């Protein structure tokens, strides 16, 4: 994060707080968040895209403390379950700034959304049109999620812009247009626009531009065939972040320019009024702000040196799920030992619990040393589990030399709380 500072004694400060102090106070593993970094990213998005609604994707990291920051920075919010909505509701996040997403929304999800009065529901299937329509007569504003047929070049598990995956209505085979007709015929729903989300951890700006072009084309087609002018276009999230040295930051300025140009050009040539735009970044808002601190528990030297830490796939399943790679560094004490390549592994009972391979750490790395893993703000806390009955780590925000506990560590009592005996 931008508030991170590595001192010459190899002490890492984040938000003006020493990680050694954080580890001592909150124990390890711990997720640390640089609050100013999150705020700066919210502001960068708003400055680069002043006319665009920025809806933070809550699935990337959600708790009340983070959501208050998001609300204060003036962002909207994407939720995908009654549970996520409950967090938003508990801090009074403005309902009109909330979008409800997901390919499955249960009756509880719909009821919670209608009960709170969320601004928009994003329709993902024909079933939903009836399911939601049956619950309301109040003309709930909805968007239709379209699969635009754009490949964002990302891991297949998080590629959602192409046909052949579960989300949305295909643009190519006419399903999107048929969904429009069905929504228009449903009295409880008011169609206000279209949505697409082509995937996550995408760095190629041209992919977003192409999706936006196709979506404006569809808006014009809908006007021509259904005589309805939809005013809103949500082009989703998915902006990638750097995880390794040498990887670039997302080109936000380039994205903003190309999105604006593409939408203006396509609208102009089709004589369609320029739609109000929404984007839904999650990872790019909170990802780089997070650092996970681990304590080295065991070092096993052999053909491969394994540095085993006190966390693992329960706090970070991303290497196992997506082959994700990370930057890992020893912090908190100086070492003049040469760097040697090691494999950083977790404490969980499977050989696949590997956090990072080919990491250079000092040859004298030993039990008790601290490791910091960068860019863990998004999809770490939210993907964590208590596999092996290991409690989930706390989430700590740092700012101006002060550390604030946002979510406490999961305890053994927590782990037993749902067990009916
Ligand atoms: N909008 C919708 C409808 C989404 O489904 C998502 C993410 C986003 C926005 C935000 O995408 P972002 O800007 O954060 O890339 N667990 C995976 C990522 C899954 C993304 C799911 N949808 C990972 O750890 O890489």
Residue 275 among known ligand-binding residues: no
DSSP for residue 393: P
Whether the per-residue pLDDT at 137 is higher than 90: the answer is no
Per-position DSSP letters for 279-297, written without gaps between them: E--SHHHHGGGEEEEEEEE
Is 299 buried (19+), middle (13-18) or exposed (0-12) by CB count in 10 A? middle
Q: How many CA atoms lie within 13 A of 232 on its CB side?
A: 22
Which residues, in sequence order, are CB contacts of 40 under 8 Å at separation 6+? Answer: 2
CA–CA dist 196, 241 (Å, integer): 20
Classify the C-alpha dihedral 319-323-324-328 as positive or negative.
positive
Q: Given this model, what pLDDT does residue 406 score?
A: 99
Atom of ligand 1 lying closest to residue 60 CA = 14
Whether the per-residue pLDDT at 373 is higher than 90: the answer is yes
Domains of the chain: 4-32+287-417 (2.40.37.10), 35-285 (3.20.20.10)
Average pLDDT for residues 352-381, to the nearest whole number?
98
Residue 283 among known ligand-binding residues: yes
Q: Given this model, what pLDDT does residue 154 score?
A: 87
Contact assessment for residue 330 and residue 360, using Cβ atoms and an 8 Å cutoff: no
Q: Given this model, what pLDDT does residue 28 score?
A: 98
Q: Given this model, what pLDDT does residue 152 score?
A: 87
CA–CA dist 78, 200 (Å, integer): 15
What is the whole-number distance in angstroms between the Cα of residue 199 and the centre of ligand 1?
A: 7
Per-position DSSP letters for 319-343, written without gaps between them: HHHH-----EEEESS---SPEEEEE
Q: Establish whether residue 145 lines the binding site of ligand 1, counting it when its CB lies within 6 angstroms of any ligand atom.
A: no
Task: Confirm whether 349 is a catalytic residue.
Answer: yes
Q: Given this model, what pLDDT does residue 159 score?
A: 87
What is the whole-number distance in angstroms between the Cα of residue 413 and the centre of ligand 1?
A: 32
Q: Tokens 């699969």 belong to which residue?
A: 147
CA–CA dist 198, 237 (Å, integer): 8
What percent of the chain shows pLDDT beyond 70? 100
pLDDT in tens, 287-339: 999 999 999 999 999 999 999 999 999 999 999 999 999 999 999 999 999 99
Assign 371 a pLDDT band (cuts: 50, 70, 90).
very high
pLDDT in tens, 168-224: 999 999 999 999 999 999 999 999 999 999 999 999 999 999 999 999 999 999 999
Residue 42 tokens read as 């919210």
Please compute Rg for the chain using Cα positions.
23
For 31, list phi and psi in degrees, rounded to 5.
-90, 125
CA–CA dist 223, 230 (Å, integer): 8
Residue 265 among known ligand-binding residues: no
Q: Establish whether residue 239 lines the binding site of ligand 1, counting it when its CB lies within 6 angstroms of any ligand atom.
A: yes
pTM over 0.95: yes
- Percent of residues in the chain assigned helix, strand, coil, to nearest 5: 35, 25, 40
């Amino acid at each position: 994060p931008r508030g991170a500072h590595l001192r010459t004694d190899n002490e890492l400060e984040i938000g003006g707080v020493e990680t050694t102090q954080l580890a001592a106070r909150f124990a390890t593993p711990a997720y640390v968040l640089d609050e100013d970094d999150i705020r700066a990213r919210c502001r960068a998005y708003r400055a680069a895209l002043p006319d665009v609604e920025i809806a933070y994707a809550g699935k990337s990291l959600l708790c009340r403390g983070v959501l208050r920051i998001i609300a204060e920075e003036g962002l909207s919010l994407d939720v995908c379950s009654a549970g996520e909505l409950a967090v938003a509701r508990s801090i009074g996040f403005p309902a009109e700034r909330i979008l409800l997403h997901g390919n499955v929304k249960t009756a509880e999800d719909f009821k919670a959304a209608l009960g709170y009065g969320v601004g928009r529901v994003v329709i993902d299937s024909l079933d939903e049109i009836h399911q939601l329509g049956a619950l309301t007569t109040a003309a709930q504003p909805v968007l239709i999620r379209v699969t635009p047929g754009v490949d964002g070049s990302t891991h297949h598990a998080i590629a959602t812009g192409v046909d052949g995956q579960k989300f949305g209505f295909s643009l190519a085979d006419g399903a999107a247009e048929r969904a429009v007709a069905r929504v228009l015929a449903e009295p409880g729903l008011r169609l206000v626009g279209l949505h697409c989300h082509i995937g996550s951890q995408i760095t190629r700006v041209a992919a977003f531009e192409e999706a936006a072009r196709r979506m404006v084309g569809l808006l014009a087609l809908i006007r021509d065939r259904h005589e309805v002018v939809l005013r809103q276009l949500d082009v989703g999230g998915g902006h990638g972040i750097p995880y390794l040295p040498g990887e670039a930051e997302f080109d936000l300025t380039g994205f903003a320019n190309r999105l604006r140009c593409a939408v203006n050009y396509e609208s102009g040539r089709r004589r369609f009024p320029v739609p109000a735009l929404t984007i839904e970044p999650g990872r790019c808002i909170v990802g780089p702000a997070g650092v996970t601190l681990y304590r080295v528990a065991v070092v096993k030297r052999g053909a491969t040196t394994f540095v085993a830490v006190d966390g693992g796939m329960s706090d970070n399943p991303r290497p196992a799920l997506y082959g994700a790679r990370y930057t890992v560094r020893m912090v908190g004490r100086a070492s003049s030992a040469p760097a040697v390549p090691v494999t950083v592994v977790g404490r969980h009972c499977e050989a696949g619990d590997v956090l990072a391979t080919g990491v250079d750490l000092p040859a004298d790395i030993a039990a008790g040393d601290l490791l910091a893993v960068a860019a863990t703000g998004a999809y770490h806390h939210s993907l964590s589990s208590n596999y092996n009955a290991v409690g989930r780590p706390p989430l700590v925000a740092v700012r101006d030399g002060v550390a604030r506990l946002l979510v406490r560590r999961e305890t053994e009592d927590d782990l037993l709380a749902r067990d009916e005996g």
